[in-house]
Amino acid sequence: MQFTVSQRFFFDAAHTLQREIEAEGSRRVHGHTYHAEVWVQGPRNTANGMVIDLGFLRQHLAVVREQLDHHLLDEVPGLGTPTLENLCAFIAQQLSGLQPPPSRVRVWREALGDGCTLDLTPPQA
């Protein structure tokens, strides 16, 4: 049996964005409240009955949140252009040492209604 557990967090951050389409204010420094959710998939550990201890996952997410919260995303090392796609990839990379590793990362901006999901498990044939 495979189980999937998840944990959410949020962060407030500023960024700029060079876009092909002219969008009011994108090139200026502006900010958003971002929400993120990380999924971990696997079997239950027979010793504790958990895929991953959610307290352990929360500790790791707190470290990632600290790198993003109230920062200018343009300046976060390893993030690259501060797009939703790159935020998903950055969060996944920061958590790649978890056992089991993340199977999915989602980042969204509730106020704008947009988001991105990164699936890290290969599709089943």
Residue pLDDT, tens place only, 79-91? 999 999 999 999 9
64 closest CA partner among 11, 117, 124, 125: 11
pLDDT per residue as tens digits for the range 33-74: 999 999 999 999 999 999 999 999 999 999 999 999 999 999
Which helix (H) or strand (E) is 8 found in, with range?
strand 3-15
Mean pLDDT, the chain, as a whole number? 92
Q: Can you give the pLDDT at residue 29?
A: 84
User: pTM to 2 decimals?
Assistant: 0.91
Q: Is pLDDT of 92 > 60?
A: yes
